Structure 1
Amino acid sequence: MLKSIFTWWNGATLGALFTLWRRAVFVGQDDLGNKYYQAKDDSDSYDKGRKRRWVIYQGYAEASKVPPDWHGWLHHTFEEPPTREPLKRQVWEKDHQPNLTGTVNAWRPKGSISRGGERQKATGDYEAWRPE
């Protein structure tokens, strides 16, 4: 309970949830569990004629967790949400993945400190620079 009052990085605060309850309608949810809302009117909008749009993250608040189709809807690139008009995917497109930097699932190359710090010895094709 206290976490939802004071922290915004682990989901919506009580104030945000109250505002959404009063002023917004639920639009949809993505595959990661993020929920999307749109204001009922443009009375609190930054641009008149445009309704505000929100995302409530599932878990830790990280913008890279928003898939491209929902990102376009949030930023008014697409008028219709992906629940009504899905974004056409090209055959060469890969599935969306959030940025894993700083998490336990981040990529760690051989020789990195977080992977033990052991790396291969330099081969004969490398010559260290020496000042003259």
Structure 2
Amino acid sequence: MGINLNPFTWWNGATVGTWFGLRGKTRVGEDSLGNVYYEGGADTAGRPRRWVIYRGANDASRVPPEWFSWLHHHVDDVPDRALPAPRRWEKPAVPNMTGTALAYRPPGALEKGGVRAPATGDYEAWSPEA
């Protein structure tokens, strides 16, 4: 794709119009996935306007939970300063894998061979004559 397609396609990252719109806005941080966050101006409620510029495909599930809370004004300051350190047992956020090779496939799915566990004795099939 590269630089030739980027000015015209919104799904490959920010377009030229987006970059012009971000002039004068403040870059406030970057997450572990490489997404960059900006703030500036005010929305209709008078709160600061906030943006995310995705690294790679534009997919809202690629925004980690801590930055989601910042984008939606659940916290006032950037997550590094506003939120406590992550707990030892917390797993990192994972984007939505639907439609990729890493998507969840339950046992019996055609992509996993189509063989499922047999029904147990407590199952009785319906028949129209019964």
> Hey, what does 1:47 align to over in structure 2?
45
Q: Which structure 1 residue ranges, 5 or more long, are not aligned?
A: none
- Write the letter of the residue equivalent to 2:8: F
Matches of 1:36 and 1:5, distance apart in 2 = 20
1:87 aligns with 2:83: yes
Aligned 8 A contact 2:29 2:36 in 1:
yes
What number of residue pairs does the alignment pair up?
A: 126
What is the distance in 1 between the residues matched to 2:60 and 2:34?
A: 13
Q: Is the 8 A contact 1:69 1:86 kept in 2?
A: no
Query: TM-score if structure 1 supplies the norm length?
Result: 0.81
Q: 1:7-86 counterparts in 2 under 5 A?
A: 7-20=9-22, 22-39=23-40, 41-42=41-42, 45-48=43-46, 50-83=47-80, 85-86=81-82
RMSD: 2.1
Compute the displacement of 1:94 (Å).
3.2
**Letter of the aligned partner of 1:3 in structure 2?**
L
Q: Identity percentage over the alignment?
A: 51
Separation in 1 of the partners of 2:15 and 2:61?
20
Give the Cα separation in 1 of the matches to 2:112 and 2:5: 33
Which ranges in structure 2 are unaligned for 5 or more consecutive residues? none
Equivalent-residue separation in structure 1 for 2:101 and 2:44 (angstroms): 38
Higher RCO structure (Cα 8 Å, ≥6 apart): 1
Of 1, 4, 8, 1:6 maps to: 8
